Structure 1
Amino acid sequence: MAALDTFYISHGSPMLLIDESHPARHFLQSWQKLYPQRPNYILIISGHWNTAHPSVNVIDRNDTIHDFSGFPKSLYQLKYPAPGAPELAKRVKGLLQASGFDRVDEDKTRGLDHGAWVPAMLMYPEADIPVCQLSVSSKKDGTYHYNLGKALAPLKNEGVLIIGSGSATHNLKTMAPKGDPAPVPLWASEFDTWLKETLLEGRYDDINHYEERSPHAKKAHPWKDHFFPLHVAVGAAGGNPNAKLIHHSWEGGTISYASYQFTASNS
């Protein structure tokens, strides 16, 4: 199997599963046409699993975690019973420990949160590919998560699709009400544009230090958990990868669904 690229997906709201008008839904539904190479496993780094130390879920069958509130009842009835990937979890743990991450925890009860199962359900609705989830640590920084991904780079040569799942901008308190055609405010567009230009130009040191080098970093990401999956995806691509913007849309004026593909520059 040829080496797989890595990806950062802005997963947005669970409403993607039932809102047929959203462009990001159609993008994710077209995934297998865009990327027909079927992976053996999927490793998802979700902004919705935040731990002090790297953690992997080591289970045989994934439960569906409905970690959201205030949505239509139909969303809580959806299940994504993808097989677990305990052997991949053990491999992830071994790679991280070999790279100097001394403590890597195993969670033997956790299933998939909506940062994992919502995009996966749209991308691979058959739920027949084993999925493992890896946490982020919001008290760390971008470089830490880049190095986390760098340790996992061998996996893309082993049939593992590595997906960082977060949101290119993630300030829920600034969203306009649904149906309100609010314009994108300057702070959101400037951060989103900075992110695109910086990735496409390969300025990954700036990405790792985005808090100091990007415009409106704190406004775009008042909590860091939805941005760090990007750093893992970049690191896992290996070397100085080539970045490609593969989807872009907005929700509520301030939530960017920008998603990126990373290809190793020596591939």
Structure 2
Amino acid sequence: MNLQTLPGLFISHGSPMLALNPEQVGPALERLSLNLPKPTAIIIMSAHWESNALEVSSAVRPETWHDFRGFPPALYDIRYPAPGEPELAEEILQLFAQAGFSAHANSTRPRDHGVWMPLLHMYPEADIPVVEISLPMNMSAEDIYKIGQTLAPLREKQILMIGSGSITHNLRELSWNGDNQSVPEWASTFRNYVVNKLHHNDFNAVLDWEKIPHVNRNHPTIEHFAPIFFAMGTGHRFSIVHSSFTMGSLGMDVYRFD
């Protein structure tokens, strides 16, 4: 079998409602998947699995977790029954050990919506094995970047790497009533700064995230931005797959790292 090297991706997964109302990003994710060779497996770091230690899901068939409240009943009926792959989880753990990371398997973790929501649009058949890795919140941006670098060789086995978070994520400032409000300057400035630095291959400026303009307003907590560090570690050539905002200031960008 001829295996092709797949990219690393950073996907802004947005509100859980993206599963029912794909807006612009759903079709963009579908087009992206159609333009890529079908992965042999997917490794994904989600903003919604914050942990103290680095963990790797080793479940054979993880449950679909509806880790949110107050949404329409139809959303809670959705399942994403893609299999896990314990053998790949073990390979990941070995790579982490070789790189000096302390990590362990987790066989009971269900799949949060940071995993299944973007994959619903990319691979709706749910026939590709998916392994989730946690986001260790005691690690620095450089450490999370190194996690991406550690797993980057797996791209050559036609394994797709995804960091699932959001380019901007301040839920208190969103327009929840559906109005197409103009994008506030603090959100567009933050997003444009990150994109500019990535375009110029200045990854260090993004890893130095505390100095990015308006970072605290865009990310009152850092967990939705941190998966971009993982995606950056998987590849060096940056490109934009999709860019848009919804609900005013919620960035829905998708980035590719080859």
State the TM bucket, normalised to the shorter chain. over 0.9
Report the counterpart of residue 35 of structure 2 in structure 1: 34
Residues 171-224 of structure 1, C-alpha deviations (whole Å, 9 max, x = no match): 111101232222211110100100111111110011111112x10111111111
Q: In structure 1, the residue corresponding to 2:88 is in which secondary structure?
A: helix
Q: In structure 2, the residue corresponding to 1:148 is in which secondary structure?
A: helix
Equivalent position to 1:226, from 224, 227, 235? 224
1:246-261 paired onto structure 2 within 5 Å: 246-261=241-256
Distance, in Å, in 2 between the alignment partners of 1:144 and 1:178 is: 38
TM-score by length of 2: 0.96
The 4+ residue runs of structure 1 with deviation greater than 6 A are none
Q: Contact 1:137–1:225 (CA<8 Å) still a contact in 2?
A: no
C-alpha root-mean-square deviation of aligned residues, in Å? 1.1
Report the counterpart of residue 193 of structure 2 in structure 1: 194
Q: Contact 2:180–2:246 (CA<8 Å) still a contact in 1?
A: no
Distance, in Å, in 1 between the alignment partners of 2:26 and 2:251 is: 13
1:55 CA displacement: 0.6
Distance, in Å, in 2 between the alignment partners of 1:147 and 1:155 is: 14
Distance, in Å, in 1 between the alignment partners of 2:62 and 2:186 is: 38
1:54 CA displacement: 0.9
1:126 CA displacement: 0.5
Report the counterpart of residue 26 of structure 2 in structure 1: 25
Q: Contact 1:41–1:130 (CA<8 Å) still a contact in 2?
A: yes
Amino-acid identity (%) = 38
Distance, in Å, in 1 between the alignment partners of 2:137 and 2:184 is: 26
Distance, in Å, in 2 between the alignment partners of 1:231 and 1:251 is: 23
Q: Contact 1:138–1:223 (CA<8 Å) still a contact in 2?
A: no
Distance, in Å, in 2 between the alignment partners of 1:224 and 1:32 is: 28
Q: Contact 1:176–1:252 (CA<8 Å) still a contact in 2?
A: yes
Q: Contact 2:32–2:241 (CA<8 Å) still a contact in 1?
A: no
1:139 CA displacement: 3.2
Report the counterpart of residue 257 of structure 2 in structure 1: 262
Distance, in Å, in 2 between the alignment partners of 1:179 and 1:236 is: 35
Distance, in Å, in 2 between the alignment partners of 1:83 and 1:31 is: 22
1:28 CA displacement: 1.8
1:1-267 paired onto structure 2 within 5 Å: 1-20=3-22, 22-35=23-36, 37-101=37-101, 103-212=102-211, 214-237=212-235, 241-263=236-258
Distance, in Å, in 2 between the alignment partners of 1:71 and 1:154 is: 39
Q: In structure 1, the residue corresponding to 2:56 is in which secondary structure?
A: strand
Distance, in Å, in 2 between the alignment partners of 1:193 and 1:136 is: 25
Residues 121-164 of structure 1, C-alpha deviations (whole Å, 9 max, x = no match): 11001111000000112232211110111111111112210011
Q: Contact 1:6–1:161 (CA<8 Å) still a contact in 2?
A: yes
Distance, in Å, in 2 between the alignment partners of 1:112 and 1:222 is: 24
Given residue 231 of structure 1, which amino acid in structure 2 is its aligned partner? F
Distance, in Å, in 2 between the alignment partners of 1:177 and 1:32 is: 29
Query: Size of the alignment, in residue pairs?
Result: 256
Distance, in Å, in 2 between the alignment partners of 1:90 and 1:154 is: 15
Residues 223-252 of structure 1, C-alpha deviations (whole Å, 9 max, x = no match): 111111111111122xxx110011011111
